Structure 1
Amino acid sequence: MTMQPWFTEAKLGVFVHWGIYAVDGVPESWSFFGGDLTREAYMKQLGGFTASRYRPEDWARLFARAGAKYAVLTTKHHDGVALWDTERTELSVAARTPAARDLVGPFAEALRRHDLRVGLYFSHSDWSHPDYPTVRPSSLHRPWVDNRFAMPAPGEEEPERWEHFLEHVHRGQIRELLSRYRPDLLWFDGAWERDERQWRMKELREEILERRPRTVLNGRMLGHGDYATPELGVPIVPPEGPWELCYTIGDAWGHQPRDTGHKSVTELIRVFTETVGHGGNLLLNTGPREDGTIAPEHADRLEGLGRWIRRHQEAVHPTERGMPYGHHYGPSMLSRDRRTLFLVCFDPPRRFVEVRGLQNAVRKISVLGTGEELGHRVVGGFPSRRVPGVVRVDAPTLCDPHATVLALELDGEIELYRGHGAG
């Protein structure tokens, strides 16, 4: 599977969870699936979803200022409510809410005007369509999956209805998204409720790429996606190939007024640099209100992250995965030619910053954002056996309030020592 270069170079995307769940500020889809409220009460929110202040141009400008290169909109969550005027079901904001229009097209158009790639989230699951809960998977690998919104009772399967759903609704709506909006990325979710063969995932991938060959597909396709999608925490051991961390600014995905646990700009920069240093992208989530406005607390944090990225642009674009942890106490990134090493320091160094296992000589060290040049010395090592000493870099005079980045220019492409030392 060949990854499109733009994706691995992007580093930051914005995830947008927007739907009728923002009207009452309840968890998206899960609130009726888990029984916190009835499906009827959940669907009453259709009457309050207005999108009256939806300005996708403002969204796109904000995302660009945040340093994002793409954004992903939830076109249909597990509740089955489409944000576009789908011809496949009657359950859409265009047909059933005061918004009364397509919300996906303006999103895609605004992103492209600001040179942002278009990502569309689509849930395989549909807990509202009558033909969805008609077959059971070969095994239930999550206990809470056996729910009447998702599964028929044992012995009550109707395979012909499942085939109708799969072709007419599932594949039909994906075809609509592809033909109408030409997404650069399809971000799937909800695949856990059936097995790979029931979803026809291999065939789905082939059809998507036949229609739009350069579409990037996320990993939630049961083995047929292009990259891994961990969420809510930087992996201790990062995936080998391309990957993306989806992460919330607060604690919730969709807008919930009670969600006040907003992460600070410093926390988000830490997660961002740890992700990029491990070779991934950060997909940072915001949940707009029902009227289409983004909460000031979320906008402020996106703006703050963007200011930090602009000050430290060299360490972000274009760079690649840095050193494994242990060589430096923090994330690191490498320039594309692998001759400049960027060290991220979360805490202001008191006397020096250490780099261990660096075989290269260091030509110059400077602080991104201030340009201050720093001295260094090499301590210890066993040169005759090619065991390098520890590079100790003098502490900078001024440190960034969020995270300081040091640029080490090397005498060639980076070479690391990974042995146990000379005995």
Structure 2
Amino acid sequence: MLFAVVLFFFSGVVVDARYAANWTSLDARPLPTWYDEAKLGIFVHWGVYSVPGFGSEWFWWHWQGQQPPDPKCVSYMSKNYPPGFSYPEFAPQFHAQLFDPHQWADIFKASGAKYVVLTAKHHEGFTTWDSPFSWNWNAVNTGPHRDLVGDLADAVRNQSLHYGLYNSLYEWFHPLYLIDKKNGFKTQEFVINKLLPEMYNMVVRYKPEVIWSDGDWEAPDTYWNSTAFLAWLYNDSPVKDTVVTNDRWGAGCACKHGGYYNCKDKYTPGQLPTHKWEKCTSVDTYSWGYRRNMRLSELMDLPTIIKDLVQTVALGGNYLLNVGPTAEGTIPPVFEERLRGVGAWLQINGEAIYASKPWRDQYDNTTLPIWFTSKGSTVYAIVTVKPPKSIVQLSSPKTSSKTKVTLLGNPKPLAWSPLHPNAGLTFYCLSFQKHLDRPGL
């Protein structure tokens, strides 16, 4: 059970600028304020890999790319598909016939998330929109015969949520990419003829407010022409004032360049970073895409998700929680249950999360694990385990006669006393345990 205690102690706007195509200039761009205030986003990995639904979204690579191939993937194919079956043959089976974007958007809204990031293209190269640069390998020419990116964009924005798109820079088996790779990335046939035209088209068409770049690590940012693209994005694109980007723009860029930092999947810093960051993680701890063979024990439970969210926000980060829909276009009920559970907790405790800032001390473990957030003179102490009794001690706060302590969801002030002269406090109340047992906590 997790809850937030409010301690009342009485004691970024984007500027108009032109950015040059270099990291010194691009990194100086202020992060649009909506992103830091949002705190929680939903990540959605959905593509052709959802059809085999085995192992992970890297199924094609594990089956036919890496050497030697993953024997589990080879066995899965030999047992369930005819000899000679190719990965592209999965695309016509990606029907998405049960996809209801408004239902998805309702779930995302109920989760308490403020933004949604959908995979427009993963490393397999299949686009979930009608890319003119991905002929017959997109969701309109085959499979659903539907603009999945556009349909979800409308539904998400109708719920007043920000909409973003994940885009992989590289593609495992694209012929032009393989040529450039063979040439040691001294040629840019893939970048000039496929990647950049597609990205420009995607931004102008869908106006994403998050561009979640990936697949950058095999080549430097100079190969990808990353700085030129970002300069256009920040200066002249239709989302120049609101768009945010991550740090995956070339080998060595992670945790160094970009709008906010991912650093690595499921990244958790040991201390408060000096730069805005985001933790991306998945309800399914083994995969980002849908897996038919997932087990309940392999999923994050609700208390774990909330604790992870709290720690991330206390350390100044945003939390991007992933779910993988089925090839039919449904969000598995176990994922929906997790998302709605997070939303129920945020309905009571969201004040301690949204638009909050890290406090001078982020963590207190005097008697219980407690994370702090703040807004001005208000400090939120988020207790991440159920106390053995209705008494909690905090060593960090500096108190005075004007200090007031309340429990979110309960308007009555809590009785408290100093732990030390002018420092720390002990608070307690008879209704404390009853509050912890309320639904959604």
Q: TM-score range by the shorter chain?
A: 0.7 to 0.9
Q: Distance in 2 between matches of 1:402 and 1:13?
A: 25
Q: Structure 1 unaligned runs (5+)?
A: 136-150, 382-387, 406-423
In the alignment, what sits opposite 1:410? none
CA distance in 2 between partners of 1:313 and 1:250 (Å): 24
Residue equivalent to 1:414: none
* Corresponding residue of 1:339: 377
Partners of 1:93 and 1:99 within 8 A in 2: no
Task: Tell me, in whole angstroms, the C-alpha distance in 2 between the residues paired with 1:80 and 1:187.
Answer: 15
Partner of 2:268: 234
- Determine which of 113, 117, 122 is the counterpart of 2:158: 113
Alpha-carbon distance in structure 1 between the residues aligned to 2:43 and 2:202: 17
Partners of 1:327 and 1:2 in 2: CA distance: 34
CA distance in 1, matches of 2:276, 2:185: 39
Q: What is the CA deviation profile of residues 153-190 of structure 1, one whole-angstrom value per residue up to 9, with x for unaligned ones?
A: xxx5584xx42211121101101111110111110001
Aligned position for 1:391? 425
Deviations, residues 52-94 of structure 1 (Å, cap 9, x unaligned): 1111111111101100110000110011111111111225333
SS in 1 for 2:374: strand
Deviation at residue 345 of structure 1 after TM alignment: 1.0
After TM superposition, list the pairs within 5 Å mapping 1:51-70 onto structure 2.
51-70=96-115
| Structure 2 unaligned blocks of 5 or more | 1-28, 75-83
Give the TM-score normalised by structure 2.
0.80
Q: What SS class does the counterpart of residue 272 from structure 1 fall into?
A: helix
Aligned twin of 1:325:
363
Matches within 5 A, 1:167-186: 167-186=192-211
CA distance in 2, matches of 1:250, 1:94: 25
**What secondary structure does 1:9 align onto?**
helix
Shift of 1:320: 1.4
Amino acid at match of 2:436: D
Tell me the distance in 2 between the aligned counterparts of 1:60 and 1:126: 29
Report the aligned-residue RMSD: 2.3
Counterpart CA distance in 2 for 1:182 and 1:404 is 35
Q: Give me the whole-angstrom Cα distance separating, in 2, the residues matched to 1:184 and 1:317.
A: 18
Residue 324 of structure 1 aligns with an amino acid whose one-letter code is: Q
- 1:327: Cα distance to partner? 7.0
Deviation at 1:5, TM superposition (A): 0.7
Please give the alpha-carbon distance, in whole angstroms, between the structure 1 residues aligned to 2:310 and 2:134.
Answer: 42
The CA deviation string for residues 95-147 of structure 1, in whole angstroms up to 9 with x for no partner, is 55331122111111111111010100000111131010234xxxxxxxxxxxx
Indicate the residue corresponding to 1:313 in structure 2.
350
| Aligned AA (2:386) | P
Q: Structure 1: how far apart are the matches of 2:240 and 2:365?
A: 40
Task: Tell me the distance in 2 between the aligned counterparts of 1:12 and 1:283.
Answer: 6
For residue 24 of structure 1, what is the aligned residue in structure 2? 52
Kept in 1, the 8 Å contact 2:392–2:426? The answer is yes
Query: Is the 8 Å Cα contact of residues 399 and 418 (structure 2) preserved in structure 1?
Result: no
Contact between 2:110 and 2:343, CA under 8 Å: does it hold in 1? yes
Alignment partner of 1:295 is 2:319: no
Counterpart code for 2:95: T
Distance in 2 (alpha carbons) for counterparts of 1:301 and 1:226? 29
Contact 2:36 2:355 in 1 (8 A): no
Q: Identify if the C-alpha distance between structure 1 residues 303 and 404 changes in structure 2 by more than 3 Å, giving closer, same or farther.
A: closer
Q: Percent identity?
A: 29
* Counterpart for residue 416 of structure 2: 376
How many angstroms apart in 1 are the aligned matches of 2:49 and 2:382? 39
State the AA in 2 paired with 1:5: T
1:368–1:274 Cα change, 3 Å: same
Determine which structure has greater relative contact order: mean sequence separation of CA pairs < 8 Å that are 6+ residues apart, divided by chain length. 2
Cα distance in 1, alignment partners of residues 231 and 108 from structure 2? 31
- 1:1-400 equivalences under 5 Å are 1-26=29-54, 27-29=56-58, 30-32=61-63, 33-34=65-66, 35-36=69-70, 37=73, 41-94=86-139, 96-135=141-180, 151-152=181-182, 159=186, 162-209=187-234, 210-211=236-237, 212-214=239-241, 215-221=243-249, 222=253, 223-229=256-262, 230-251=264-285, 252-260=287-295, 261-322=298-359, 323-326=361-364, 329-335=369-375, 338-349=376-387, 350-361=389-400, 363-381=403-421, 388-394=422-428, 396-400=432-436
Could you list the runs of 4 or more consecutive aligned residues of structure 1 that deviate by over 4 angstroms after TM superposition?
37-40, 156-159, 401-405
1:344 and 1:403 in contact (8 A); partners too: no
Displacement of 1:192 in angstroms is 0.5
| In structure 2, distance between residues paired with 1:158 and 1:345 | 50
Counterpart of 1:244, as a letter, is E
Distance 1:290 1:365, change over 3 A: same
Over 3 Å counting, the alpha-carbon distance change for 1:128 and 1:91 in structure 2 is farther
Distance 1:91 1:267 in 2: 41
What SS class does the counterpart of residue 51 from structure 2 fall into? helix
Is the CA contact 1:348–1:404 (under 8 Å) kept in the aligned structure 2?
Answer: no
Contact 1:270–1:403 (8 Å) recurs in 2:
no
Change (3 A) 1:233 1:330: farther
Q: Is the 8 A contact 2:399 2:423 kept in 1?
A: no
* Structure 1 length-normalised TM: 0.83
